[in-house]
Structure 1
Amino acid sequence: MKDILTALWNYRHFIFSSIRNDLRSRFARSRLGALWMILQPLAQVAIYSLVLSRIMATKLPGIDNRYAYVIYLMAGMVAWSLFAEVVTRSLTIFVENGNLMKKMSFPRVCLPFIISGSALINNLLLLMTAMGLFVLMGHAMSLAVLWLPLLIVINLAFSLGLGLILGVLNVFIRDVAQVMTVVLQLLFWLTPIVYMPNIIPERLRVVLEFNPMMHMVAAFQSVILYGRSPDFGALSVVAVAAVALLLCSLVLFRRAAPEMVDVL
């Protein structure tokens, strides 16, 4: 574990430059450039809002703002987009960079941290844009938003830990990426982003409690929409799971790294 952390520190300049190059390459020859990082999730929010805002607005008690559902939806999408991007890109990061891993000598563990850094920048831009829109909608931010950095760190750690495990497994079992594409779609609808938990029957709501992203999304919505501190009981469980996943993923990567290049 110490060797991995030392390698990450020694190659920190390589990681930062790779993050910059990754962001540039994703929007090369695009007129709107980095704006696509913001426009795509906002377009998704707009579609759901147009279809469901009148139905779901009545399910948000205690909120007078007529844009309450839009704010609720955007807060959930900010949390989900970071998780989904890190996990999705981590799934194929080693497979896609197989030639690079064979030709260059560098710590392979840098790769998932590069995509995590890129995803984090995307997510921060989306968050800042969303908060600007909230102000235009007449929704004042409270001091509860000071919890957002902690929520983002926990979300990123959980996503990176899970993504690194799946990325390593996908090197040896290529079906993992295909299966996870379906699982992520299912998990999105099992997470109260588009709908509220109070519309789910009580017996089914107990099942949703086992979904870590439900608690993560609820924490973002609590801080941004309701101006309240997150539920620290549920958040602490997600934080412990994030640390456990991150440690397990690094151990798994260290053991599998010598064989990964041969398989690729």
Structure 2
Amino acid sequence: MARREVVGRYKGSAMGLLWSLINPLMMLVIYTFVFSVVFKAKWHAGDAAEPRSQFAILLFAGMIVQAFFAEVLNRSPQLIVANANYVKKVVFPLEVLVAVVTLAALFHTVISVGVLLLAYAVVHEGLQWTAVFLPLVFLPLAMLSMGCGWVISSLGVFARDIGQIVGVLTTVLMFLSPIFFPVSALPPSIQPWMQLNPLTFIIEQTRAVLIFGQLPDWSGLASYAFFASMAAWAGYAWFQKTRKGFADVL
């Protein structure tokens, strides 16, 4: 089902699956130009020998995390409505639909990470060995995304406006996340509040293992994984509680 989700999205288009590569690259070029050329943004971290290319790599790492989270959330509101036949006619584990969307989002993430690693290898003539820890960094975010997906997909059945709200929230979350700037660039009084953003820690850890060659913050990752698993469990419980009314509404 995840493969069908990925292939079906580009079915009939001339470029096919290449769009999963073209779209993030286009956004990367635009954001890099706007922030590093127009607004003259600087990172003041890592190797500054080629600041614009380094800025693009740092920017892309943050975009990958945000794009994964946003894709799961933005697809969730219409997930049950678009698969009403599973609700009405077939005994089907509807909670699997959120897992399907998550796996499809992970597919696009893997492609983007591959592009990032290739760009980093070209710029720095090699890769950081700590990149092998990236799956451990992404696992808690995947659990959190599924928990949010279960809640949002169930709410989308009863309140069709939820899709519009989620779209706005994911856009706001992009600009409130440390994608275009490091957390250290913020005033010290604001930095603790930035940590409340669920993407902040994962973005920083992604850059740490992929770009800066640092080991993950194991204690922070364990804490994040604990709360993410609790959120996933709560979202799953909410979905199972509310699914009894799906057939009546649809």
Q: 1:49 aligns with which of 16, 32, 36?
A: 32
Residue of structure 2 equivalent to 1:26: 9
Residue correspondence of structure 1 range 164-243 to structure 2 within 5 A: 164-243=150-229
TM-score normalized by the length of structure 2: 0.92
Q: Residue 63 of structure 1: which of 47, 64, 71 is its match?
A: 47
Which structure: greater helix fraction?
A: 1
Pairs within 5 Å for 1:88-127:
88-127=74-113
Distance in 1 between the 2:86 and 2:233 partners?
25
| Alpha carbons 1:75, 1:221 under 8 Å: kept | yes
In the alignment, residue 201 of structure 1 is paired with which amino acid?
P
Change (3 A) 1:165 1:190: same
- Post-superposition shift, 1:178? 1.9
TM-score by length of 1: 0.87
> Any stretches of 5+ residues in structure 2 without a counterpart?
none
Paired letter, 1:61: A
SS in 2 for 1:226: coil
Supply the RMSD in Å over aligned alpha carbons: 1.6
Identity %: 26
Which ranges of structure 1 fall in alignment gaps of 5 or more residues?
1-17
Amino acid at match of 1:34: L
Partner of 1:162: 148
Q: Distance in 2 between matches of 1:139 and 1:251?
A: 48
Matched residue of 2:216: which SS? coil
Query: Deviation string for 1:75-128 (max 9, x for gaps)?
Result: 111211111111111222112212342133311112111111111111111111
- Residue deviations 1:9-61 (CA, integer Å, cap 9, x gap): xxxxxxxxx1222222111111211111111111111111112225233x323
Give the stretch that moved more between structures: 226-235 or 254-263.
226-235
Q: Secondary structure at the match of 1:56?
A: coil
CA contact (8 A) 2:157 2:246 kept: yes
The alpha-carbon deviation at position 139 of structure 1 amounts to: 5.2
In the alignment, the residues of structure 2 paired with residue 175 and residue 226 of structure 1 have an alpha-carbon distance, to the nearest angstrom, of: 41
- Give the 3-state SS of the residue equivalent to 1:137 in structure 2: helix
Q: How many residues align?
A: 246
Letter in 2 for 1:133: A
CA distance in 2, matches of 1:179, 1:62: 37
